[in-house]
Amino acid sequence: MAAGAGGAALGRAALAAPLVLLYYGFSIGITFYNKWLMKSFPFPLLVTLLHLLLIFALAALARALARCRSGRPRAALSWADCLRRAAPAALSTSLDIGLSNWSFLYVTVSLYTMTKSSAILFILLFSLLFKLEEMRVTLLLVVLLIAGGLFMFTYKSTQFNAQGFILVLCASFLGGIRWTLTQILMQKAELGLQNPIDIMFHLQPLMFLGLFPLFAVFEGLPLSISEKLFRFHEAGMLFSLVGKLFLGGILAFGLGFSEFLLVSRTSSLTLSIAGIFKEICILFLATHLLGDRLSLLNWLGFAVCLSGISLHVVLKAVNSKGDKTLEPHKEANSDPDLELLLHHTEHGDKEEEDVETPQQ
């Protein structure tokens, strides 16, 4: 029995390792990509819109390939159903991504990473507001640690920018709403959107429509008179820009897919722990590669915030184990569509896990 449990644990670890590395590659890659691109092409909302179009095209291609391989029709929602059921999730997602990209015009990667981690704080506040969570001392401690750490990280920061900080904070607020609504959407079995490819396919058009008015107001006129897009003197510059934007779309698609894949193949706890270490990696790379300057107080604030996030993860893990001892053990077969998309050879069972909020 012990040997069998140990073998199962090793098997899960062997499966999680490449998925975590895949998630790290896309998540860290797109963070530094966005900061790099904003220096040469300062139109974050346009970049986001173009990425949404590319993600939609890639999701449509993946759905077509899966349909050809399986011979089964894909989930398809009418526009009326999309607007009624998916519009809130799509709008919050588009604004979260758009404001996050916008903030890179003003803030460093380290400040962005630290502030974005406060999304858990907003999720907890929403949970208390809607009575999804009961007020507990440990929950209050998590909120205080994250908020206190964020304050220490931004206090007297030499590279602090108020406008960029507000943009990231608003994005974190919307991120809490985004993943809560996305979780509800994916858990509605009658919609058939459990597959990440399907949900990305249905959300992208609504996300585009939701973000376009913001783009038209803030970037429409500056873009129309900028040689960055409409007045190129050399074709090579235009092709270079198209290549840069295409690379970002690939990274954005890979990030969205790898987040859902990591949760579906392992657990939400794995993604939460991976997110903590990802932030450490990003701050380390930002200070060494981009020259971000952090004081001792900033690093201490980062450590305090991470301790709050870690405490939240531990509490969720303990509560999850407690629930499993009270309920019968449930098994769910692996999604055959994911198998087709990933050419996975194993068709074993996986433990059914609740989708928790991933971090961008």
Q: Which of these ranges, 234-238, 256-260, 281-285, 326-330, has the smallest mean pLDDT? A: 326-330
User: Is position 357 within any domain?
Assistant: no
- How far is CA 347 from its chain centroid? 27
Q: What is the pLDDT of residues 81-96, one digit of tens each?
A: 778 878 888 899 899 9
Average pLDDT over residues 4-13: 52
Where are any strands of DSSP class E within the chain? 331-333, 349-351
Helix (H, G, I), strand (E, B) or coil at 93: helix
Domain count within the chain: 1
Q: How confident is the model at residue 54 (pLDDT cuts 50, 70, 90)?
A: very high
Q: What is the DSSP secondary structure assignment for residue 331, as one 8-state letter?
A: E
Q: How confident is the model at residue 293 (pLDDT cuts 50, 70, 90)?
A: confident
Helix (H, G, I), strand (E, B) or coil at 265: helix
Question: H or E element: which one contains 327?
Answer: none
Average pLDDT of the chain to the nearest whole number: 77
Report the pLDDT value the prediction gives residue 351, as an integer from 0 to 100.
41
Identity of the highest mean pLDDT range in 144-148, 208-212, 294-298, 312-316:
208-212
User: Is position 116 within any domain?
Assistant: yes
User: Is position 29 within any domain?
Assistant: no
Average pLDDT over residues 129-150: 78
Over 50: is that where the pLDDT of 354 sits? no
How many CA atoms within 13 Å lie on the side-chain side of 72?
8
User: Is position 337 within any domain?
Assistant: no
Higher pLDDT, 12 or 182: 182
Average pLDDT over residues 187-198: 70
Q: Which domain holds residue 134?
A: 37-321
Question: H or E element: which one contains 216?
Answer: helix 196-218
Average pLDDT over residues 213-225: 86
Report the pLDDT value the prediction gives residue 190, as an integer from 0 to 100.
62
Say how far apart CA 314 and CA 269 lie, in whole Å: 9
Report the pLDDT value the prediction gives residue 340, as an integer from 0 to 100.
40
**Contact yes or no for 98/170 (Cβ under 8 A):** no
Contacts of 11 (CB under 8 A, 6+ apart): none
Report the pLDDT value the prediction gives residue 24, as an integer from 0 to 100.
87
Over 50: is that where the pLDDT of 275 sits? yes
User: Is position 15 within any domain?
Assistant: no
Report the pLDDT value the prediction gives residue 48, as an integer from 0 to 100.
94
Report the pLDDT value the prediction gives residue 193, as an integer from 0 to 100.
67
Report the pLDDT value the prediction gives residue 132, as an integer from 0 to 100.
63
Higher pLDDT, 145 or 181: 145
Question: H or E element: which one contains 110?
Answer: helix 109-116
User: Is position 224 within any domain?
Assistant: yes
Average pLDDT over residues 277-292: 87
Over 60: is that where the pLDDT of 10 sits? no
Over 50: is that where the pLDDT of 245 sits? yes
Nearest of 195, 207, 183, 188 to residue 257 by alpha carbon:
195
**Contact yes or no for 198/141 (Cβ under 8 A):** no
Please report, rounded to a whole number, the percentage of residues in the chain having pLDDT higher than 70.
73
Question: How far is residue 273 from each of residues 168, 270, 307, 311, 316, measured CA to CA in Å?
Answer: 22, 5, 12, 11, 11
**Contact yes or no for 2/227 (Cβ under 8 A):** no
Average pLDDT over residues 147-166: 81
Pair of tokens at residue 220? 């429409």
Q: How confident is the model at residue 142 (pLDDT cuts 50, 70, 90)?
A: confident
Over 90: is that where the pLDDT of 178 sits? no
Average pLDDT over residues 30-58: 92
User: Using a CB cutoff of 8 Å and minimum separation of 24, what contacts does 198-203 make?
Assistant: 198/59, 198/63, 198/74, 198/75, 199/260, 200/55, 200/56, 200/59, 200/253, 200/256, 200/257, 201/56, 201/59, 201/60, 201/63, 202/77, 202/82, 202/86, 203/86, 203/89, 203/90, 203/93
User: Is position 194 within any domain?
Assistant: yes
Higher pLDDT, 194 or 269: 194
**Contact yes or no for 103/85 (Cβ under 8 A):** no
Tracing tokens 């579906």 back to the chain, one arrives at 264
Over 80: is that where the pLDDT of 61 sits? yes
Q: What is the pLDDT of residues 303-348, one digit of tens each?
A: 888 888 888 778 877 776 665 554 444 333 344 444 444 443 334 4
Helix (H, G, I), strand (E, B) or coil at 343: coil
Say how far apart CA 31 and CA 104 lie, in whole Å: 9
Question: Phi first, then psi: what are they for 239, rounded to 5°?
Answer: -65, -35
Question: How far is residue 231 from each of residues 12, 228, 252, 294, 296, measured CA to CA in Å?
Answer: 53, 7, 27, 40, 46
Pair of tokens at residue 213? 């008015």
User: Is position 344 within any domain?
Assistant: no
